Amino acid sequence: MEHRVRKILTSLIAILAATNLEAQQSTPKLVVCITVDQLRGDYIEYFYNTFGERGFKRLMNEGLVYNNIRFEFSDIDEASA
Protein backbone atom coordinates (compact mmCIF):
# COMPACT_ATOMS: atom_id res chain seq x y z
CA MET A 1 0.00 0.00 0.00
CA GLU A 2 2.79 2.43 0.93
CA HIS A 3 4.59 1.64 -2.33
CA ARG A 4 1.45 2.47 -4.31
CA VAL A 5 0.96 5.82 -2.53
CA ARG A 6 4.60 6.70 -3.08
CA LYS A 7 4.28 5.84 -6.78
CA ILE A 8 1.16 8.01 -7.16
CA LEU A 9 2.77 10.95 -5.36
CA THR A 10 5.92 10.66 -7.47
CA SER A 11 3.85 10.62 -10.66
CA LEU A 12 1.81 13.61 -9.50
CA ILE A 13 4.92 15.63 -8.65
CA ALA A 14 6.48 14.77 -12.03
CA ILE A 15 3.34 15.89 -13.88
CA LEU A 16 3.15 19.14 -11.92
CA ALA A 17 6.84 19.87 -12.52
CA ALA A 18 6.49 19.25 -16.27
CA THR A 19 3.39 21.46 -16.47
CA ASN A 20 5.12 24.25 -14.57
CA LEU A 21 8.21 24.01 -16.78
CA GLU A 22 6.06 24.22 -19.93
CA ALA A 23 4.23 27.30 -18.60
CA GLN A 24 7.52 29.06 -17.84
CA GLN A 25 8.85 28.53 -21.35
CA SER A 26 5.95 30.23 -23.12
CA THR A 27 6.93 33.60 -24.53
CA PRO A 28 4.70 36.64 -24.86
CA LYS A 29 3.23 37.45 -28.27
CA LEU A 30 4.36 41.04 -28.15
CA VAL A 31 6.64 43.12 -25.95
CA VAL A 32 6.37 46.92 -26.15
CA CYS A 33 8.53 49.35 -24.24
CA ILE A 34 7.55 53.01 -24.48
CA THR A 35 9.84 55.63 -23.01
CA VAL A 36 9.15 59.34 -23.39
CA ASP A 37 12.03 61.60 -22.47
CA GLN A 38 11.12 64.28 -19.91
CA LEU A 39 7.48 63.17 -19.63
CA ARG A 40 6.37 63.48 -16.04
CA GLY A 41 4.83 60.29 -14.71
CA ASP A 42 1.73 62.01 -13.38
CA TYR A 43 0.80 63.25 -16.88
CA ILE A 44 -0.09 59.72 -17.96
CA GLU A 45 -2.82 59.50 -15.31
CA TYR A 46 -3.79 63.17 -15.76
CA PHE A 47 -4.53 62.66 -19.47
CA TYR A 48 -5.91 59.12 -19.05
CA ASN A 49 -9.46 60.13 -20.03
CA THR A 50 -8.25 61.55 -23.35
CA PHE A 51 -6.67 58.26 -24.47
CA GLY A 52 -8.49 55.93 -26.87
CA GLU A 53 -9.80 52.57 -25.64
CA ARG A 54 -7.51 50.59 -27.95
CA GLY A 55 -4.42 52.73 -27.42
CA PHE A 56 -2.71 53.85 -24.24
CA LYS A 57 -5.73 52.92 -22.10
CA ARG A 58 -5.42 49.34 -23.28
CA LEU A 59 -1.70 49.31 -22.57
CA MET A 60 -2.28 50.72 -19.09
CA ASN A 61 -5.18 48.39 -18.25
CA GLU A 62 -3.91 45.16 -19.76
CA GLY A 63 -0.16 45.69 -19.80
CA LEU A 64 2.53 45.88 -17.19
CA VAL A 65 3.17 49.47 -16.13
CA TYR A 66 6.15 50.54 -14.04
CA ASN A 67 5.57 53.83 -12.25
CA ASN A 68 9.02 54.39 -10.78
CA ILE A 69 11.93 53.46 -13.04
CA ARG A 70 15.51 54.59 -12.73
CA PHE A 71 18.11 53.88 -15.35
CA GLU A 72 21.52 53.50 -13.78
CA PHE A 73 23.77 55.71 -15.88
CA SER A 74 25.53 58.99 -15.30
CA ASP A 75 23.62 62.21 -15.66
CA ILE A 76 24.27 63.83 -19.00
CA ASP A 77 25.45 67.39 -19.38
CA GLU A 78 24.85 69.88 -22.17
CA ALA A 79 28.01 68.83 -24.00
CA SER A 80 26.91 65.21 -24.30
CA ALA A 81 23.21 65.83 -24.93
pLDDT recorded at residue 49: 92
- Per-residue DSSP letter, 16: H
- 48: helix, coil or strand? helix
**Residue 20 confidence class, pLDDT cut points 50, 70, 90:** low
- Render pLDDT for 24-72 as a digit per residue (tens, 0 to 9): 556 777 777 777 778 887 888 888 899 889 888 888 888 887 777 777 7
Distance between CA atoms of residues 49 and 53, nearest Å: 9
pLDDT at 81 over 70: no
b/e burial code for range 24-46 (CB count within 10 A of at least 16 → b): eeeeeeeeeeeeeeeeeeeebee
pLDDT recorded at residue 22: 57
